Structure 1
């Protein structure tokens, strides 16, 4: 066998920093491991017209563990070792599968045979500190053939919707305008691939490696990209409506003019990302990572601050929070008077003592019925309204018109009724505690109608406009 030409080397590092590993008799250090890009030597008889003649076989080996234990950088370390020891720089990982960790290789016949011999002779007995469970050299299976065909020839005229490409190595493949609807690409390596204009709607790309990929204009509506690495990728003009990007790496990504409405980016890394002109309506940014270099509209930077850091006691009066996903946010004691909350999501938010006076809330605003009522009371008034038995605890009702209203048996504990108009209000058996903020006149009225005033000295007391009906 003619020795392959040694190509230019590239150093690597793992996601966790420097990587050191004893593999069989060899010691691997990530900063010095060389990852070889396959090149062609025209004088090599194992190549045809400048192209490597790949084997029609595949070599599979398995080690104990799970997918989560082998990241992209560690696979590169394994590949570098196998290329070096086989003397074949054309050896490539076709795909990685579950069932322990199953790694499937392709390359020249000689290279695959050499690796099989290394495993079977005991020269290489383990990888990543884990014993090799088995080695199997056989004809390329249908999935491996498809992966190799895609990498070598692209996908012109192929319908790959619903196709199983889990763990496939499609690095640098031309998948432009490909039909990959609902395809399984979880944990696939798509680094440097061209997916511009591709249809990836509802596809599973969870934990996929998409570094530096071109997704310009791609349709990813409803796709699952949770845990995926999209660092430095180009997603400009893509449709990411309802996409799952929780814990994804989007650092340095170009998201210009992207539709991210209703997308979940909780825990995503957006450091240095470009989100200019992006549609972020109802996007979930809880615990996302954003730095000063992240390009994002000031409105959405504020939304991120609110859901990630909280806004307890913050003055957000007059702020535009329309279409904002504020679910679960701490807005207690915040001032949102005159704020625009149309189409916003306030589900499970802490709205204790929030000021909602004159805020804009519409039928599409998602908010607990209790707080929608509070908003109605402080914005529209509740003159003569029947609020008997209503839970208004922790409500900020300051300045509200509650004249002639029926609040009998209502819960007003910890509520703020300062400067509210309580003329002729019915407070019989309402719950008021020491933390309820209410004028002393109306606290007295409450005591009288709820506890009675038999024998009590109320000489000189102001009980004007008080509702003392049915007093015993």
Structure 2
């Protein structure tokens, strides 16, 4: 035991000498600095080749231009460290902490950064050729102009990262997360992007070639972004989560296309065919959808601020929880539909309103006045029409399945061909109402006289 304590004391004494030497001379190649406390130290230009700095506290340390060739920095805390221009070639940075660190123009060729935390760090114009960043956390990292050619990046998290003008030629990015990443003009020739998440990633100007491995969905997105829509079959295309910012898609046939959660900021969709399209949770602010056909489209929870819908056909379109502002331009009919769905119409006077072909599923019309309103072919599934006044309203071919029509006034209403299956008609006034061919609450079809 005495011998062990003596050896341990000797090691600690040697480490203290190495720390003192480093602070005094900035020369400490192959030094044992494991676990050293050097937070905030001024070590610009220091020689630390092959030094052991594993598990050291280097938070905020100044190591700009330092030589850390083959140094061991595993599990070191380098948060907010200044390492611009440093030589970290073949350094071991596995499991290190580098949030907000500055590695501008640093040399990290063949460095090991596996499972390291690089969140918010500055790696602009850095050399990361052949570096290993497997499972690294690199959220919001800056890698503009960086060289990542032949780097190993599987399962890296690059959400919101900046990779404009970076070279990723021949890099392995399998199953990486590139959500909302800026990849403008990045070189991805020969890169492996199998299983990569490119949700809302900016692919404008990104370079691919025949050797780039990329899922077919994202290849289509890349082609639309960089080559346009001419000759593309976009019917029922999967463009969910795609970043199509600023594109000209005027007149495009997107019938049945999946654009849910896509980023369509300032997109031109004038006259496009968006029938049956999925646009839920889509970002459409400032987009032009004038004269588009949005029949049966799902716009649930979409961002519609400053969107132009003038002349658009929104027959049976879902506008539930869609977000608009004062600058969103709807034709009057569809603005009324949006208001009914999202604000309710209890007690509202909608006499003579034009609501035919509208999607009004689950809307609250309790005690609303709808005399003479046109609700032809409207979807009123599950709507609350209790005590509403529907005198002479046109509800022909309307879907009222499961609707609450308790004590409603349906006198002289036209319900020809309407679906009333499961509807509550308790106390409703059906005097002289036209029920020819209507499906009744019990599921039977009323016979025309």
1:151 and 1:174 in contact (8 A); partners too: no
Kept in 1: contact 2:268–2:288 (CA 8 A): no
Question: 2: distance between equivalents of 1:179 and 1:212?
Answer: 20
1:357 equivalent to 2:286? Answer: no
Q: TM-score, structure 1 length as denominator? A: 0.51
Deviations along 1:438-466, one digit per CA (max 9) or x if unpaired, are xxxxxxxxxxxxxxxxxxxxxxxxxxxxx
Q: Equivalences for 1:244-393 in 2 at 5 Å?
A: 244-312=162-230, 314-362=232-280, 364-368=281-285, 371=288, 377-379=294-296
TM-score, reference length from structure 2: 0.53
2:94 to 155, 176, 180: 176
Work out whether residues 220 and 241 of structure 1, in 8 Å CA contact, stay in contact via their aligned partners in 2.
yes
Tell me which of 154, 157, 172 is aligned to 1:236. 154
Q: Give the conservation status (yes or no) of the 8 Å contact 2:217–2:239.
A: yes
Asked if the contact 1:338/1:359 (under 8 Å) is kept, the reply is yes
Instruction: Call closer, same or farther: CA 1:321–1:294 in 2, change over 3 Å.
Output: same
SS at match of 2:276: coil
Shift of 1:197: 1.3
Q: Is contact 2:270–2:288 with CA below 8 Å preserved after alignment?
A: no
What is the alpha-carbon distance in structure 1 between the residues aligned to residue 133 and residue 117 of structure 2? 10
Matches within 5 A, 1:154-169: 154-169=72-87
- Tell me how far apart the structure 2 counterparts of residues 217 and 380 of structure 1 sit (CA, whole Å): 39
For the residues of structure 2 that align with 1:170 and 1:336, how far apart are their CA atoms?
A: 50
Deviation of the 1:323 alpha carbon: 0.8
Distance 1:203 1:145 in 2: 15
Deviation at 1:151, TM superposition (A): 3.6
CA distances 1:96-143 after superposition (whole Å, capped 9, x unpaired): xxxxxxx969699xxxxxxxxxxxxxxxxxxxxxxxxxxxxxxxxx84
Q: How has the CA–CA distance of structure 1 residues 326 and 177 changed in structure 2, closer, same or farther, with 3 Å as cutoff?
A: same
Alignment of 1:42-441 (within 5 A): 56=25, 143-144=62-63, 147-148=66-67, 150-151=68-69, 153-312=71-230, 314-362=232-280, 364-368=281-285, 371=288, 377-379=294-296, 397=313
Q: CA deviation at 1:242?
A: 1.1
Aligned length: 267
Deviation at 1:312, TM superposition (A): 4.7
Contact 1:206-1:225 within 8 A present in 2 as well: yes
What per-residue deviation string (whole Å, max 9, x for no partner) do you get for residues 341-389 of structure 1?
A: 1101111122122111111111x201136656866853369xxxxxxxx
* Partner deviation per Cα, 1:13-38 (whole Å, 9 max, x = no partner): xxxxxxxxxxxxxxxxxxxxxxxxxx
Q: Distance in 2 between matches of 1:297 and 1:144?
A: 41
Which residues of structure 2 form unaligned runs of 5+? 1-23, 28-43, 50-60, 299-306, 318-329, 335-352, 355-449
In the other structure, the counterpart of 2:432 is: none
